[in-house]
């Protein structure tokens, strides 16, 4: 059933080419910056960081809070997100010496626990980093995913993150490519057809 849904979405929208970033490090920053925020707001912040030559963990770690906050202002919650970025950077530096390869070689379960231990990294952010920055096979659950599947009565209204994630991972092949594209397609579907304030959608391609 899930793979049927995936096929239909893929046929309708085509490949989504996620995550929109040049490097794994940029994915990780974007994952924090996009928390409860429109992606277009994140693009502006990433642009600012790039323009200031700060898409580098060592340089980014050194700049003062105020400076970083002003650069990511467009993403909202900029004081909190500045702290979260700093928390993430010290994790990245201390445990992995800012070495993506070293992270990729780490066991996925261990890595997920380490990411979740960072203040400001919850399940969705951790899983986005695992899947989209490190190519680890894990399904990312977000607000759209829940909304789409509860509206189609395929999930309980009160299902928690782990339950939704299990629902996908137990019913799909354990493939990075599939998890990548499926989640991206669900976000695309959500943006275009499953908005919060439009509870009934006649044109939904899943119907």
Contacting residues toward DNA, per CB under 7 A? 18-20, 30-31, 34-41, 44, 73-81, 118-126, 128, 132, 142-144, 187, 190-191, 195-197
Nearer to DNA, 34 or 57 (CB): 34
Nearer to DNA, 142 or 181 (CB): 142
Burial (CB count within 10 angstroms: exposed 0-12, middle 13-18, buried 19+), residue 40: exposed
Q: Work out how close the CB of 9 gets to DNA at its nearest, in angstroms, rounded to a whole number.
A: 15
Instruction: Tell me the C-alpha distance between 34 and 21, whole Å.
Output: 13
Output 95-100 pairs: Cβ under 8 A, ≥24 positions apart. 98/57, 98/58, 100/24, 100/25, 100/133, 100/134
Nearer to DNA, 60 or 121 (CB): 121
Q: Work out how close the CB of 57 gets to DNA at its nearest, in angstroms, rounded to a whole number.
A: 19
Question: Would you say 61 and 89 are in contact if contact means Cβ atoms under 8 Å apart?
Answer: yes
Instruction: Tell me the C-alpha distance between 103 and 92, whole Å.
Output: 9
Q: Work out how close the CB of 144 gets to DNA at its nearest, in angstroms, rounded to a whole number.
A: 6
Nearer to DNA, 57 or 145 (CB): 145
Q: Work out how close the CB of 116 gets to DNA at its nearest, in angstroms, rounded to a whole number.
A: 7
């Amino acid at each position: 059933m899930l793979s049927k849904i995936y096929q239909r979405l893929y046929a309708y929208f085509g490949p989504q080419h996620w995550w929109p970033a040049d490097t794994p490090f940029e994915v990780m920053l974007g994952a924090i910056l996009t928390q409860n925020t429109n992606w277009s707001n994140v693009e502006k912040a990433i642009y600012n960081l790039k323009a200031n030559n700060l898409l580098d963990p060592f340089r980014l770690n050194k700049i003062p809070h105020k400076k970083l906050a002003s650069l990511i202002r467009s993403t909202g919650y900029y004081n909190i997100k500045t702290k979260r970025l700093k928390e993430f950077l010290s994790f990245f530096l201390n445990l992995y010496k800012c070495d993506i390869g070293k992270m990729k070689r780490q066991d996925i379960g261990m890595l997920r626990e380490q990411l979740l231990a960072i203040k400001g990294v919850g399940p969705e952010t951790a899983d986005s980093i695992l899947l989209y920055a490190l190519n680890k096979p894990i399904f990312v659950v977000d607000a759209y995913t829940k909304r789409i599947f509860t509206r189609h009565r395929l999930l309980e209204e009160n299902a928690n993150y782990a339950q939704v994630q299990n629902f996908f991972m137990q019913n799909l092949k354990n493939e990075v490519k599939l998890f990548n594209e499926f989640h991206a397609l669900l976000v695309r579907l959500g943006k275009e057809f499953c908005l919060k304030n439009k509870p009934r959608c006649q044109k939904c391609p899943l119907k």
